[in-house]
Amino acid sequence: MNLQDQLQFIFGRRSIRVYKSGKVSDSTIIKLLQAAMAAPSAVAKDPWRFVVTQKPETLARLANVLTNGNMLNAASLGITVCADLEAAHDQQLSYALQDCSAATENLLLAVHALGLGACWLGIHPREDKIREVKAILGLPIQVLPVACLAIGYPGEEKESRTRFNPEYVHWEQW
Give the per-residue SS3 of 99-114: HHHHHHHHHHHHHHHC
pLDDT of residue 5: 85
Q: Considering the domain boundaries, does residue 167 fall inside one?
A: no
The tens-digit pLDDT sequence of the chain (174 residues) is 788 889 999 999 999 999 999 999 999 999 999 999 999 999 999 999 999 999 999 999 999 999 999 999 999 999 999 999 999 999 999 999 999 999 999 999 999 999 999 999 999 999 999 999 999 999 999 999 999 999 999 999 999 999 999 999 999 999
Range of the domain at 65: 16-156
pLDDT of residue 120: 98
pLDDT of residue 3: 84
Region of residue 138 (left: phi > 0; alpha: psi -120 to 50; beta: else): left
pLDDT of residue 104: 98
Q: Considering the domain boundaries, does residue 169 fall inside one?
A: no
Number of domains in the chain: 1
Q: Considering the domain boundaries, does residue 4 fall inside one?
A: no
Burial (CB count within 10 angstroms: exposed 0-12, middle 13-18, buried 19+), residue 59: buried
Burial (CB count within 10 angstroms: exposed 0-12, middle 13-18, buried 19+), residue 135: exposed
Which residues make Cβ contacts (< 8 Å) with residue 7, sequence separation at least 6?
Answer: none
Supply angle C-alpha 117, 119, 122, rounded to 5. Answer: 160
Q: Considering the domain boundaries, does residue 119 fall inside one?
A: yes
Cα 9 vs. chain centroid, distance in angstroms? Answer: 18
pLDDT of residue 59: 98
pLDDT of residue 2: 85
Q: Considering the domain boundaries, does residue 37 fall inside one?
A: yes
Q: Considering the domain boundaries, does residue 79 fall inside one?
A: yes
The SS3 assignment for 55 reads coil
Nearest to 20 by CA among 141, 157, 142: 157
Q: Considering the domain boundaries, does residue 113 fall inside one?
A: yes
HSE-CB for 137 with a 13 A CA cutoff: 30
Q: Which CATH number belongs to the domain containing residue 86 in this structure? A: 3.40.109.10
Q: Rounded to an integer, what distance in angstroms lies between the CA atom of residue 18 and that of residue 151? A: 10
Q: Considering the domain boundaries, does residue 8 fall inside one?
A: no
